[in-house]
Amino acid sequence: MKIRFLLLMMIAGLAVGCSAFFEPLDSVSRDEYAPESEIIEVEEEATERRSSSEDRVDEPLPSPPIDMDEAEGYYDSDIVELPDVGGGGAGGDGGSSYGGGAPAGDDSIYGADFDGEYAVESDFATTSAYAPEVQQISPLKAGEIDDNAEWDDYLLYRQESLDNFGDWVNDVDVTGRRIITVTDSEGLPVLGATVSVTIGDTLVSQTRTYADGRTLYLSNANPDPQANGDMIISVEKDGITASLNMSLVRMAGPHVDFVLDMEQNRASVQLDVVFLLDATGSMSDEIGQLQENILSISRQIDEMGDVDVRYGLVHYRDREDAYITQVHDFTPDVTQFQADLNSVRADGGGDNPESLNAGLHDALHSVEWRGANTIKLVFLVADAPPHLDYPDDYNYAEEMLYASDRGIKIHPIASSGLDAVGEYIFRQIGQTTMGRFIFLTYSGGVAGEAGDERPDLAASEQDYTVDFLDGLVVQLVEDEINAFKGLQ
């Protein structure tokens, strides 16, 4: 009995203790805790922060131009640490991927008086991880130079660059440049005429004229030791021909003019435009603004009215990224082109050079260009030179000569961070295809705010003009159209 009594007393005491323990929790007012609505808001805010953190891309700071005294081993695989020359790649763990040895394969939307910032509802905000739905963007400004027009300055720049880093580029000897111009019986330029140069029985060059009737013959680019005899330049368009015998002199000679006894139909203009875009991570700081400017450019071109225009898009990254190149073939539908453009996101890279060789190849070979009566333009937008150390890769120098052969003009546009090697290659491409070298300019020369300066480029040492980027590009397109129409 005693034992049973003691057990009952223990059970009763335990019950009382548990009741006393839980009673305060039941009696606490909910006012002493966060209201349910506030709890939900805090949870939502935390979720938003996590999402924002996952989407955020760390933007690299602008890098100084390459210092040639510190850059020994730019392509040397034994060099582990190289000077930061800016440009391609997402930052990441850095390092060099230039690799071993010598190169392989031997009305503006902003308005003319704009001086502030626009709050722009972005067309690409819903598809780009790098742009908020409403963002403050400044208009991009750019300078441009024509190296074929300032030929003596270009030759000096070319030689100085080759002396400093000639082993890091694929050089083409342009010192024997001749400009050949073809006009019709009315004195108007002939677009798409085939210009052939033979020495003896050997065909050494064949190019097509641009909308202004001009093309280049580079007599020293690929000298054929088997080519002997007089040089004959012949021109053909729609079965009409002309030719000229010239003494063989491998140096920059006089300009050569041809007149074809023909009249041309200038009632309609065909225009094919490809935008070739570096989509690696280092472009993330400016890709939103560049997309907006390209959208503006396409809208303004589409509003020209009497132009049969088609738009193409090629964007590229690098090997080991999610893709190397993506190609969107020509479309006359500007809305479709803009949707393709809006889908581009900047990611990957990780080192300075990128797969520009592959991107340029696809821009020239993987889209369906129209025939000889079409104005053909490529706008290359990038911040880094190509890899020259990759095995089984294309060669940008061969690609630019192919573009000249086909009458495709390339205008390179240098974004922030392009190093000295990249500038040389971009200017090579522009000069050989008779395009302009265009470069974004900034306030105080520091990337971020549009201005008139770009001190990190050698081009800034020459006289250059500055305009809003979209207006500058549209003007270049209009110049081609006006040349074709004989309005210049």
Whichever domain contains 215, its CATH number is 2.60.40.10
One-letter amino acid of 33: Y
Which token pair is 478? 């209009």
Domain co-membership, 219 together with 241: yes
- Does pLDDT of 23 surpass 60? no
**pLDDT score, position 486:** 87
Domain co-membership, 297 together with 443: yes
In this prediction, residue 332 has a pLDDT band, given cuts at 50, 70 and 90, of: very high
- Does pLDDT of 277 surpass 90? yes
Q: Tell which of 228, 259, 290 closes a domain.
A: 259
In this prediction, residue 286 has a pLDDT band, given cuts at 50, 70 and 90, of: confident
Which of 109-123, 239-253, 390-404 has the highest average model confidence (pLDDT)?
390-404
- Does pLDDT of 76 surpass 70? no
Which token pair is 263? 């009249």
Please, which residues bridge with residue 216 across strands?
A: 179
Residue 394 makes CB contacts below 8 A (sequence gap 6+) with: 357, 358, 360, 361
In a domain, 382, yes or no: yes
In a domain, 25, yes or no: no
- Does pLDDT of 164 surpass 60? yes
Domain co-membership, 365 together with 433: yes
**pLDDT score, position 248:** 60
Domain co-membership, 449 together with 313: yes
Contact 449, 118 (CB under 8 A): no
- Does pLDDT of 326 surpass 90? yes
Domain co-membership, 158 together with 251: no
Which token pair is 450? 């549009």
Q: How many domains does the chain have?
A: 2
Domain co-membership, 271 together with 366: yes
Task: Kindly state the greatest CA–CA separation across the chain.
Answer: 135
Contact 405, 376 (CB under 8 A): no
In a domain, 418, yes or no: yes
- Does pLDDT of 63 surpass 70? no
In a domain, 100, yes or no: no
Q: List the single range of 112-126, 201-215, 284-298 with lowest mean pLDDT.
A: 112-126
When comparing pLDDT for 440 and 465, which is higher? 440
- Does pLDDT of 445 surpass 70? yes
Please, which residues bridge with residue 273 across strands?
A: 311, 377
In a domain, 183, yes or no: yes
Among positive and negative, which fits the CA dihedral 115, 116, 121, 122?
positive
pLDDT in tens, 342-369: 999 999 887 789 999 999 999 999 999 9
Beta strands 231-237 and 240-246 are: antiparallel
Pick the closest to residue 140 from 297, 352, 315, 245 (CA basis): 297
Contact 449, 443 (CB under 8 A): yes
**pLDDT score, position 254:** 75
In the predicted model, what is the mean pLDDT of residues 199-209? 92
Q: Where are the alpha helices (DSSP H) in 151-257?
A: 151-165
What span, in angstroms and rounded, lies between the C-alpha atoms of 401 and 407?
10
- Does pLDDT of 153 surpass 50? yes
Contact 285, 271 (CB under 8 A): no
Domain co-membership, 303 together with 201: no
- Does pLDDT of 5 surpass 50? no
In a domain, 40, yes or no: no
What span, in angstroms and rounded, lies between the C-alpha atoms of 16 and 10?
10
What span, in angstroms and rounded, lies between the C-alpha atoms of 61 and 485?
45
> Residue 121 in 3-state DSSP?
strand
In this prediction, residue 219 has a pLDDT band, given cuts at 50, 70 and 90, of: confident
Edge to edge, what strands does the sheet with 269-278 contain?
325-331, 307-316, 269-278, 374-382, 408-414, 437-441, 141-145, 465-468
When comparing pLDDT for 106 and 184, which is higher? 184
- Does pLDDT of 413 surpass 90? yes
**pLDDT score, position 422:** 97
Domain CATH code at residue 442: 3.40.50.410
Domain co-membership, 296 together with 245: no
Domain co-membership, 246 together with 280: no
Contact 423, 459 (CB under 8 A): yes
pTM: 0.74
Domain co-membership, 237 together with 359: no
- Does pLDDT of 104 surpass 80? no
**pLDDT score, position 249:** 59
Please, which residues bridge with residue 374 across strands?
A: 270
**pLDDT score, position 226:** 64
Domain co-membership, 192 together with 244: yes
Which token pair is 161? 């660059």
In the predicted model, what is the mean pLDDT of residues 181-188? 95
- Does pLDDT of 94 surpass 50? no
What span, in angstroms and rounded, lies between the C-alpha atoms of 352 and 349?
8
Q: Tell which of 206, 235, 259 closes a domain.
A: 259
**pLDDT score, position 157:** 97
Pick the closest to residue 233 from 258, 208, 211 (CA basis): 258
Domain co-membership, 345 together with 420: yes
User: How would you label 47-71 residue by residue, b for 16+ Cβ within 10 Å and e otherwise?
Assistant: eeeeeeeeeebebbeebebbeeeeb
> Residue 206 in 3-state DSSP?
strand
**pLDDT score, position 48:** 40
**pLDDT score, position 360:** 98
**pLDDT score, position 268:** 85
**pLDDT score, position 225:** 63
In this prediction, residue 31 has a pLDDT band, given cuts at 50, 70 and 90, of: very low
Of all helices (H) and strands (E), which one includes residue 104?
none
Of all helices (H) and strands (E), which one includes residue 271?
strand 269-278
**pLDDT score, position 136:** 41
What span, in angstroms and rounded, lies between the C-alpha atoms of 80 and 82?
7
Which of 26-35, 395-404, 455-464 has the highest average model confidence (pLDDT)?
395-404
- Does pLDDT of 57 surpass 80? no
In the predicted model, what is the mean pLDDT of residues 159-173? 96
In a domain, 142, yes or no: yes
Contact 362, 314 (CB under 8 A): yes
Q: Tell which of 238, 259, 280 closes a domain.
A: 259
Alpha-carbon Rg of the chain, whole angstroms? 31
∠ CA(330), CA(332), CA(333), 5° rounding? 110
∠ CA(399), CA(404), CA(408), 5° rounding? 90
**In which domain, by residue range, is 187 found?**
177-259
Contact 370, 272 (CB under 8 A): yes
**pLDDT score, position 250:** 59
In the predicted model, what is the mean pLDDT of residues 329-336? 95
In a domain, 27, yes or no: no
What span, in angstroms and rounded, lies between the C-alpha atoms of 98 and 354?
9
- Does pLDDT of 481 surpass 80? yes
- Does pLDDT of 433 surpass 90? yes
State the average pLDDT for the chain: 77
Phi, psi of 336 (to 5 degrees): -65, -45
- Does pLDDT of 73 surpass 80? no
